[in-house]
């Protein structure tokens, strides 16, 4: 199994997290996302015509899209069926719902980070405002979950919905987005970094 990986990518980080959580042996191929824009090269477009990372190669097939790769890995390699809870349709529906939400976090909080860190030319104020709107929703949801005795986004167990939402939320500070006003998100981040086999990525402030 091979992950086409970029060290500063939150979307690649999602896959690295689940590979570590499930202790799946794999290799990584480093992609020069910045400054080389290798993901837009002809060779890489053969692997993913969308020109995006991550891509996972397993059993000779390529899978693209961070959320899709999470679904694939959890379905195939998590014998406990907790990360992608196929035996509980209601919970599974909630997980899928928050996977889509994670994509919205990418298009806002991640965009602000690309602007501030790597100099991408985009409307950073609009990206930050969009991220704050989403973080308010996530913060309210996590607070409600806590009131019901649940530590995680979809219920009592950490699922790939938590993995999908974690990186660009925890990395929001890189893009000038302060998580100070989201106490339930901060508590959730603290729980997340204490999961077994968790590895930190630069930009995540575990002391805040």
Partner 1 sequence: MTPDTFTRSQWYAIGRTGDFEGAKAKPVRLLSQDLTVNNTSGVLSVNDAEGHSLQTQVRYGHLWTTLSDNPRPLYDMPEFDEPDRRLVTAGGVGVRCSGLRCVENFLDMAHFPFVHTDILGVEDHSSVENYDVSMDAENDEIWATKCKFFQPLASAAATGGQMTEYKYRVPHPYSTILYKTCPIRQNVWDLVGLFIQPVEEDECIVHSFILVFDDENTDTGLLHFQQNIFLQDRMILENQVPRKLPLDPRWELPTRADASSIAYRRWLKANELQWGIALFDKVA
Judged by the rule CB under 8 A, the positions of this chain that interact with partner 1 are 6-8, 30-32, 34-36, 38, 116-119, 173-174, 176, 202-205
- C-beta of 189: minimal distance to partner 1 in Å? 14
Q: Which residue has the tokens 């970094």?
A: 193
Instruction: Measure the CA–CA gap between 87 and 27, rounded to whole angstroms.
Output: 31
- C-beta of 83: minimal distance to partner 1 in Å? 26
Looking at the Cβ atoms of 38 and 57, the one nearer to partner 1 is 38
Looking at the Cβ atoms of 6 and 168, the one nearer to partner 1 is 6
- C-beta of 49: minimal distance to partner 1 in Å? 21
- C-beta of 34: minimal distance to partner 1 in Å? 5
């Amino acid at each position: 199994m091979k992950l086409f990986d970029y060290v500063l990518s939150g979307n690649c980080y999602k896959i690295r997290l689940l590979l570590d959580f499930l202790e799946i042996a794999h290799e990584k191929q480093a992609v020069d996302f910045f400054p080389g824009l290798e993901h837009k090269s002809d060779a890489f477009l053969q692997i993913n015509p969308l020109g995006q990372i991550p891509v996972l190669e397993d059993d000779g097939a390529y899978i693209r899209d961070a959320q899709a790769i999470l679904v694939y890995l959890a379905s195939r390699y998590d014998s406990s069926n907790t990360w992608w809870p196929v035996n509980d349709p209601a919970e599974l529906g909630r997980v899928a719902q928050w996977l889509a939400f994670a994509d919205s976090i990418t298009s806002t909080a991640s965009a602000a980070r690309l602007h501030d860190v790597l100099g991408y030319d985009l409307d950073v104020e609009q990206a930050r405002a969009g991220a704050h709107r989403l973080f308010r929703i996530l913060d309210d949801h996590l607070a409600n979950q806590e009131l019901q005795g649940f530590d995680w986004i979809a219920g009592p167990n950490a699922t790939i919905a938590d993995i999908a939402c974690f990186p660009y939320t925890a990395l929001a500070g890189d893009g000038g987005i302060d998580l100070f006003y989201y106490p339930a998100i901060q508590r959730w981040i603290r729980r997340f970094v204490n999961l077994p086999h968790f590895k930190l990525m630069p930009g995540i402030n575990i002391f805040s």
